[in-house]
Amino acid sequence: MHDTNEFYDTHAHFSLNPGESAVVMQRALEAGVIRLVAVGGSQDLNAAALAVAEACSGHVRLALGFDRSQAQGADVAVLVETLRRVHAMTPVAAVGETGLDFHYEADSAEAQCELFAAQLRLAHEWSKPVVVHTREAEAATLRVLDQTPWSGKGLRGVIHCFTGNKEFARELLDRNFAISFSGIVTFKSADMLRESAAFVPDDRLMIETDSPFLAPVPLRGKRNEPAFVKIVAECLAEVRCTTLAQISRVTTRNALAMFG
Complete domains list, the chain, with CATH = 7-259 (3.20.20.140)
The per-residue pLDDT for range 83-108, each reduced to its tens digit, is 999 999 998 999 999 999 999 888 99
Long-range pairs, 143-148, Cβ under 8 A, ≥24: 143/113, 144/100, 144/113, 144/116, 144/117, 144/120, 145/120, 145/175, 146/175, 147/117, 148/117, 148/120, 148/121, 148/124
- Does 1 score more than 60 pLDDT? no
Is the four-CA dihedral 225, 229, 230, 231 of positive or negative sign?
positive
For residue 242, give the DSSP letter: S
**pTM of the predicted model as reported, rounded to 2 decimal places:** 0.95
Whether residue 11 contacts residue 28, with contact meaning beta carbons closer than 8 Å, is answered with no
- Does 2 score more than 70 pLDDT? no
Residues of the chain with pLDDT > 70, as a percent, come to 98
Residue 174: how many other CB atoms lie within 10 Å = 9
Classify 135 as helix, strand or coil: strand
Q: Distances in Å between the alpha carbon of 11 and those of 136, 143, 144, 189, 243?
A: 20, 24, 22, 22, 22
pLDDT of residue 253: 98
| Element of type H or E holding 166 | helix 166-174
Of the pLDDT bands very low, low, confident and very high (cuts 50, 70, 90), residue 189 is very high
| Element of type H or E holding 90 | none
pLDDT of residue 105: 81
pLDDT of residue 98: 97
Instruction: Give the residue-averaged pLDDT of 156-174.
Output: 97
Whether residue 67 contacts residue 111, with contact meaning beta carbons closer than 8 Å, is answered with no
Instruction: Give the residue-averaged pLDDT of 206-212.
Output: 98
Distance CA 74, CA 225 (A): 30
The per-residue pLDDT for range 6-63, each reduced to its tens digit, is 999 999 999 999 999 999 999 999 999 999 999 999 999 999 999 999 999 999 999 9
The per-residue pLDDT for range 147-158, each reduced to its tens digit, is 998 765 678 999
- Does 255 score more than 60 pLDDT? yes
Distance CA 133, CA 141 (A): 9
How many residues comprise the chain? Answer: 260
